[in-house]
Structure 1
């Protein structure tokens, strides 16, 4: 695991253009400084980006039946998190930090630019969104609900995927 800059990430993305078709967003269900090799990129509590690969095309097992041609990005958080069928969530003892979410949006923007992918829900998906498509997400079993809901700036719960993609699009305005 090595720390990388957004500039280094841009180069990795450029080198993987044409081979990566999707980006899946996760949380580790762990603590702020615990990184995992299951994901290409881990974002710790302070917003530092860590890479577990030399190339984004390396195969990682992160999203059931969706690992090939995909990059996995995870924020390190949400130990003890619980989701409820009424749409409420308890982010546990290690909730996502503002810095993690801002960095995640920047990472998505850099990846999409380098990989030449649009920032939309066909190409950038949370694990909860992918799990819903494959019948093991919040709409059915709640087996995987990573980033299903996130707190907006005013503290209200919003669709996590839409919130991250919106922030990533705003990052692309540079």
Structure 2
């Protein structure tokens, strides 16, 4: 009986350690802006972005559903989903990468810059990208934030002639995630 109790405690401790190797969020905030001066703001926010980080290996995966981006204008949101992103055909965006020189033991409450090499898949097209991310750790949460640009041409996103001068091809993306 004593050995059975010790084995059960060892299994619980192992499962707890394994579970701590991965932290995640289902409510990360991703914002993009493709505004052009002198025209209406083209900006949207997705507050349901998912992200999983393996704290042992530095591998990271992000997932967001295109239809979760919210615009100021319902018409702009409709055009985004139906005409540009074709969200029914390509419902999600996925990023898979690895944080270089990541060691959870070295994280502090101060932001530290890290480089992530990975692959971004949007609109059925993949592109290798490198981004800089700021990472900090407070209590049981790891915070990630980044600001980077993507080009619509890299993902086969075509803008109709009527709006080409009103929407930037170079899209600024900002992420803010709290992983637990």
TM-score (norm 1): 0.23
TM-score (norm 2): 0.23
More helix by share: 1
Computing the radius of gyration over CA atoms, which structure comes out larger, 1 or 2? 2
